[in-house]
Amino acid sequence: MNMMDLMTDNKVHDESRQGEAYAPFANDPNQYKKKFYIESYGCQMNFSDSEIVASILNSAGYGATRDTEEADLVLLNTCSIREKAEQTIRKRLTEFRKAKMRRPGMLVGVLGCMAERLKANLLEEEKLVDMVVGPDAYRTLPGLIEEAEGGQKSVNVLLSRDETYADISPVRLESNGMSAFISIMRGCNNMCSFCVVPFTRGRERSRDAKSIIAEAQDLFDRGFREVTLLGQNVDSYYFVDEKSNETVSFAMLMERVALISPDLRVRFSTSHPKDITDEVLYTMAKYENICKYIHLPVQSGNTRVLQLMNRTYTREWYMKKVDRIKEILPDCGISSDIIAGFCSETEEEHQDTLSIMDYSQYDYSYMFFYSERPGTLAARRYKDDVPEEVKKRRLQEIVDKQYHLSLESNKRDVGKTYKVLIEGESKKDENAWMGRNSQNKVIVFAKEQYNLKKGDYVYVTVTDCTKGTLLGVIEK
């Protein structure tokens, strides 16, 4: 695998899903007067938001289509995290502008983080779109569509202090019907100096715990067997029920979701290393169905760089956190996000990142080179002075290191038996199943004579591995 593949081969920005069109329901009994098409980019939270948008549009009489040619409304749910994402979206918008010349009635809108960041440019200067809607303004979409249909360009990108979409039931992508993502909070209060999220998504707001539990219960009742609780910083989830005065921490929330059924797996992402508590780790240890996997982004292994990044922990503090996880949850998988070539990073400081990867024994990492984002603290305060070829070389060293760590981690699993949730048929072999273990590793194994189906649990013994996949046989 080359560097670019690995760099983008990540779950946060799952490259295979970038630009994915939202799928309509196969058997939707409702009749819609018009059709919408939505394409999503960026992190899992954006994909989850597209499901909220689909729900709002369904209620306004719009049904989903995967064909832009028959869409009355074309939407792009965008991301600003990396420059590359913005470039891709601009390219798509230019293509849609051409389609619009052929079909003038079609409306084009931009949603999400890029809408928030580039509102004036997109609408007024470049005249690429009819509507620009920020992540906190999706409820106003039907009104904005009406305005745009009347010929008026419309915009609503106001960030809200309390929007959580708690009362909207997302319309799920039916692609696997087994695992779903639930947004438990929006925004972020951290100010990592490289990151645009605090500017595009606003202040942190935790969603009502009851509505989260109700959504998870409903998913379970509909056959889903895995939910991932999503937030930029899930460990700072904190909800106060004004009626009962009860406060709910992330550990309590996770426990309540886990108690829905032992057959419902619970995952979460992302944990900021400064916030993950012993309470969370002990709750994970207490419930078998809370998956033993933590995404704990380090970003850099050097204390000076971490300070510049405003991550609020040191190298030593991070290492102690890893020790604690391994002490309380000895079989826990850990993954990370890593940035190569942040402003003023020296060669020795880069070596610190490589050595903390060894120390933490990451099973997986999402690896990026630093790209300056306008408006961030780093863009205002520091010079982006590590030459591009140096950034890329350092990133390649990080990628190579991770390659070995992932392979070693998988090799250590050979001979072990895991409880696996079947997600579907293997893409490469119709006679094999593909599933995941608690540690989030993909396992492929022959179906054999057993009458198993998607959503079943099965014990599988690992017999072999590659860097990305475990291979196994069903435990007799």
Residues that bind ligand SF4 (CB under 6 A): 188, 190, 192, 195, 197-198, 232-233, 272
Distance CA 275, CA 253 (A): 15
We find the least distance from the C-beta atom of residue 165 to ligand SF4, in angstroms, to be 18
- Residue closer to ligand SF4 by CB (options 258, 395) is 395
DSSP secondary structure, 130-178, as one string: SEEE-TT-GGGHHHHHHHHHTT--EEE-PPPSS---TT-------SSSS
- Residue closer to ligand SAM by CB (options 179, 232) is 232
User: Would you say 110 and 132 are in contact if contact means Cβ atoms under 8 Å apart?
Assistant: yes
Residue 371 interacting entry, from ligand SF4, ligand SAM, none, C-beta within 5 to 8 Å by type:
ligand SAM
Under DSSP, the state recorded for 23 is P
Residue 368 interacting entry, from ligand SAM, ligand SF4, none, C-beta within 5 to 8 Å by type:
ligand SAM
We find the least distance from the C-beta atom of residue 360 to ligand SF4, in angstroms, to be 18
- Residue closer to ligand SF4 by CB (options 377, 473) is 377
We find the least distance from the C-beta atom of residue 13 to ligand SAM, in angstroms, to be 7
Which token pair is 326?
């391994």
Number of neighbouring beta carbons within 10 Å of residue 40: 27
DSSP secondary structure, 361-414, as one string: T-SEEEEEE----TTSHHHHHS---S-HHHHHHHHHHHHHHHHHHHHHHHHHHT
Distance CA 374, CA 371 (A): 10
Number of neighbouring beta carbons within 10 Å of residue 325: 23
Distance CA 187, CA 190 (A): 9
- Residue closer to ligand SAM by CB (options 60, 191) is 191
- Residue closer to ligand SAM by CB (options 368, 433) is 368
- Residue closer to ligand SF4 by CB (options 117, 272) is 272
We find the least distance from the C-beta atom of residue 312 to ligand SF4, in angstroms, to be 10
- Residue closer to ligand SF4 by CB (options 271, 289) is 271
We find the least distance from the C-beta atom of residue 188 to ligand SF4, in angstroms, to be 3
Residue 198 interacting entry, from ligand SAM, ligand SF4, none, C-beta within 5 to 8 Å by type:
ligand SF4
**Non-local CB neighbours of 69 within 8 Å, separated by 6+ positions:** 99
Catalog residues that contact ligand SAM under the rule CB under 6 A: 12, 43, 81, 194-195, 197, 232-233, 270, 272, 297, 299, 337, 339, 368, 370-371, 373
Which token pair is 364?
């997986």
Residue 206 interacting entry, from ligand SAM, ligand SF4, none, C-beta within 5 to 8 Å by type:
none
Distance CA 159, CA 300 (A): 30
Residue 81 interacting entry, from ligand SF4, ligand SAM, none, C-beta within 5 to 8 Å by type:
ligand SAM
